[in-house]
C-alpha cells in the first residue's frame, strides 16, 4: 500500500498482461472477460486518479487494448472506521495482500451487530491490521454462526470480495465441515435436499418447509459410536443460515451440544449423559475450504484442525465405542 502526492492511499496495483485475443477490444471488455469485473467497481476505478492505467498511463474504460499491454488496477484504500480495534489472539491460516483466512474459535461473532460492538472477529482483525500499519476494510466473504468454529475468509479489497462472492454464488467454493451428532443417519453417505425457511413461531429458528429456500447438504459418516452417535463429514451445496444444524435434525441426527435444535427425545438419552459437560456448544467445525485465489487464480486448499473441545468429545465417544 502506498500514498500519492495528493495524499490518497492506494492498495498495491493488480496487473494483467493483454493477450492476443484481447487485441482491439476495449479495456472494459477485456476486464469483464478476464475477471468478470462488476459495473460498480469499474465506475470506482474510472473515477479514481490512479484506478486504471495501461503501460503506466492513465486511461478510460473505452481505451483499445493491444496484445502485450500491461493493464494495472489500483483501488483506493478503505478502512472500517466504525469497527473499534481490539487486541485479540488470532489464528491466521493464510494471508497475502488480497485476502485473510482465519480459524475462528467458537463463541466469537464474525461482525459487530446492534448492541454488540466489541469482542467480535472484526474487532480483532482491525487491531491486527492497525498494528501492521495497513489501512484495510473488513470484508467477510461468508460467516459462521457464533458457536461454530473454523475457517472464515476476509477479502482485503473490493475486487477480491467480488471475485470470491461470485465463486460462492456459482457454487465452486468447497466448504467442508466435521460434526458429531446423536444417532445414525439412514445411509452411510448421501444428500439432504430439503428447503429451509424461518419458523413462524420463532423467526430466528430455521426449519425444513415446502416454501423454504432450496438447500442442499452432502454428508458422509466418518465414524460410528454404537447406535447412539457418529462423526459426520459434511459438504455444503448451498449456504443457508443454520443449514447443517437444520438438516442434521431433519434426518434425525441433531448435532451434539446444539441446544437450539436438539430434539427433546435426546435430552435424557444415554448419549447425552455420556457427553454432558464435555462441549458447551454445537459440535460443528468448518475444517476445509477450497477456492480459486481471487487475483492469481491459484487453486487454494486450506485446512483447520479440530479445536480442543471437539477433540475431547471425539476421545470420549471413542472410549464409548470401545466399551
Residues marked as catalytic: 145
Q: Cα(178)–Cα(272) distance, rounded to whole angstroms? A: 19
What CA–CA distance (Å, rounded) separates 24 from 80? 40
Nearest CA to 18 out of 74, 64, 75 is that of 64
Cell of 13: 496495483
DSSP structure class, residue 211: T
Q: How far is CA 202 from the centre of its chain?
A: 26
Helix runs in the chain, H state only: 27-35, 39-47, 121-132, 158-170, 243-250, 270-275, 308-322
Contact status, residue 12 vs residue 97, Cβ threshold 8 Å = yes
Amino acid at each position: 500500500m502506498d500514498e500519492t502526492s495528493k495524499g490518497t492511499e492506494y492498495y498495491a496495483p493488480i496487473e494483467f498482461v493483454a493477450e492476443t485475443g484481447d487485441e482491439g477490444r476495449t479495456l472494459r471488455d477485456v476486464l469483464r472477460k478476464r475477471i468478470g469485473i462488476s459495473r460498480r467497481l469499474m465506475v470506482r476505478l474510472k473515477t479514481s486518479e490512479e484506478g486504471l492505467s495501461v503501460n503506466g498511463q492513465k486511461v478510460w474504460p473505452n481505451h483499445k487494448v493491444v496484445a502485450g499491454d500491461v493493464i494495472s488496477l489500483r483501488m483506493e484504500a478503505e478502512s472500517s472506521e466504525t469497527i473499534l480495534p481490539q487486541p485479540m489472539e488470532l489464528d491466521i491460516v493464510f494471508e497475502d495482500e488480497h485476502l485473510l483466512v482465519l480459524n475462528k474459535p467458537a463463541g466469537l461473532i464474525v461482525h459487530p451487530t446492534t448492541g454488540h460492538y466489541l469482542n467480535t472477529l472484526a474487532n480483532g482483525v482491525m487491531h491486527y491490521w492497525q498494528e501492521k500499519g495497513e489501512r484495510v476494510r473488513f470484508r467477510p466473504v461468508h460467516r459462521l454462526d457464533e458457536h461454530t468454529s473454523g475457517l472464515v475468509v476476509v477479502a482485503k479489497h473490493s475486487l477480491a470480495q467480488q471475485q470470491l462472492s461470485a465463486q460462492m454464488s456459482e457454487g465452486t467454493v468447497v466448504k467442508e465441515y466435521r460434526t458429531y451428532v446423536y444417532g445414525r443417519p439412514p445411509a452411510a453417505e448421501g444428500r439432504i435436499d430439503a428447503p429451509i425457511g424461518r419458523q413462524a413461531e420463532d423467526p430466528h429458528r430455521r426449519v425444513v418447509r415446502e416454501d423454504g429456500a432450496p438447500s442442499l447438504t452432502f454428508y458422509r459418516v466418518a465414524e460410528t459410536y454404537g447406535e447412539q452417535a457418529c462423526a459426520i463429514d459434511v459438504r455444503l451445496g448451498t449456504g443457508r443460515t443454520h443449514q447443517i444444524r437444520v438438516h442434521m435434525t431433519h434426518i434425525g441426527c441433531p448435532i451434539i451440544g446444539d441446544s437450539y435444535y436438539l430434539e427433546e427425545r435426546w435430552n435424557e438419552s444415554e448419549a447425552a449423559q455420556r457427553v454432558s459437560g464435555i462441549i458447551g456448544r454445537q459440535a460443528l467445525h468448518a475444517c476445509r475450504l477450497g477456492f480459486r485465489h481471487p487475483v492469481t487464480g491459484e487453486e487454494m486448499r486450506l485446512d483447520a484442525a479440530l479445536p480442543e473441545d471437539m477433540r475431547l468429545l471425539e476421545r470420549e465417544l471413542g472410549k464409548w465405542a470401545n466399551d
